[in-house]
């Protein structure tokens, strides 16, 4: 977007939009895939998956380094 603005283009210019799309598509697609998989896991009420979720959250909750990494990532830091 900055490149387009520096060139004097409008933010809605097709060049700016295509460039933004090309640069952000992979990240957006990965985020979609991860979100979809997590949603599937949390919608499933199986005993085994419930135990795995509890185990995973326990690891995150008790490991300050992992917890801070996830928190910072979520905040965009």
Determine the Cα angle at 33 with ends 16 and 35, to 5°: 105
Model pTM above 0.85: no
pLDDT number for residue 74: 87
Q: What is the pLDDT of residue 17?
A: 92
| Residue 25 parent element (H or E) | helix 14-43
Q: Over the stretch 22-70, which tens digit does the pLDDT of each residue have?
A: 999 999 999 999 999 989 988 988 999 999 999 999 999 999 999 999 8
Q: So what's the pLDDT on residue 4?
A: 85
pLDDT at position 75, please?
Answer: 86
């Amino acid at each position: 977007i900055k490149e387009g603005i520096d060139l004097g283009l409008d933010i809605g210019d097709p060049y700016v939009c295509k460039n933004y799309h090309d640069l952000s598509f992979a990240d957006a697609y990965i985020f979609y895939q991860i979100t979809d998989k997590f949603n599937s896991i949390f919608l499933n009420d199986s005993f085994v998956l419930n135990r795995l979720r509890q185990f995973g959250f326990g690891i995150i909750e008790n490991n300050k380094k992992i917890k801070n990494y996830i928190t910072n990532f979520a905040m965009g830091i």
